[in-house]
Amino acid sequence: MRSPVKRGVIVTSLVVLLGTGVFWWGTDGFTALTAETARRVEILRSPRPVPNVTLEDQDGNIFKLQDYQGKLLAVDFIFTRCTTLCRSMGMIFKQIRDLIPEKSLGRDFMLISISFDPDHDDPASLKKYGQAYGADGEIWRIARVPDKAELKALLEAFGIIVIPDEFGGFEHNTALHLVGRDGKLRLISDIDKAVPFAEEVVALL
């Protein structure tokens, strides 16, 4: 007959094992420990369609996001008055572009930086931002979504949170996004993962 101490140890062990199993199941094997991680895991498993919004680029050209279908598309979100993260994103996107084989640029792979501040980011502001990083307006466009409802839907699809700050700017999250040839968001990566992101693009090419 087991002693009360032994029975207690056995019961405790079973509770711990059961709790660990539930936690493992509930977090996809410890991979979805945050909402952001869970979102990224879900995108990998089930790529998400993105809305076919209308954009205006740094040259004043009007186009649709769906125009990129058939190509891989790197996407980031910025506002040109930003002096911190968005400046880093410009350098990171330049690095990604430079890591892609030249023969694929424009034909199989393109980049777009989308402003979430259409009230301030007119084509002239977008062009100035693009010129600072070598965005040519063809392979790499800087654009805005003039329609506020379309912009809201686009930010929600990509999981971008934008909060006005006390200085007239914005607090926002940022990431590297890859839209597949089918127009679906298929990969979200940290901004310090430019090289692995480019390697993923090359593998898909």
Instruction: Confirm whether residue 109 is marked as ligand binding.
Output: no
Contacts with 196 (C-beta within 8 Å, 6 or more apart), sequence order: 189
> In the chain, how many H helices and how many E strands?
6, 10
Instruction: Confirm whether residue 172 is marked as ligand binding.
Output: yes
Element (H, E) at 196: helix 194-204
Instruction: Confirm whether residue 120 is marked as ligand binding.
Output: no
Greatest Cα-to-Cα distance within the chain, rounded to the nearest angstrom: 84
Report the distance separating Cα 160 and Cα 181, nearest Å: 21
CA distances for 122 relative to 41, 143, 169, 188, angstroms: 35, 9, 16, 27
Report the distance separating Cα 120 and Cα 179, nearest Å: 26
183 Ramachandran zone, left/alpha/beta (phi>0; psi -120 to 50): left
Report the distance separating Cα 137 and Cα 53, nearest Å: 18
**What residues are designated binding site?**
82, 86, 172
**What residues are designated binding site for Cu cation?**
82, 86, 172
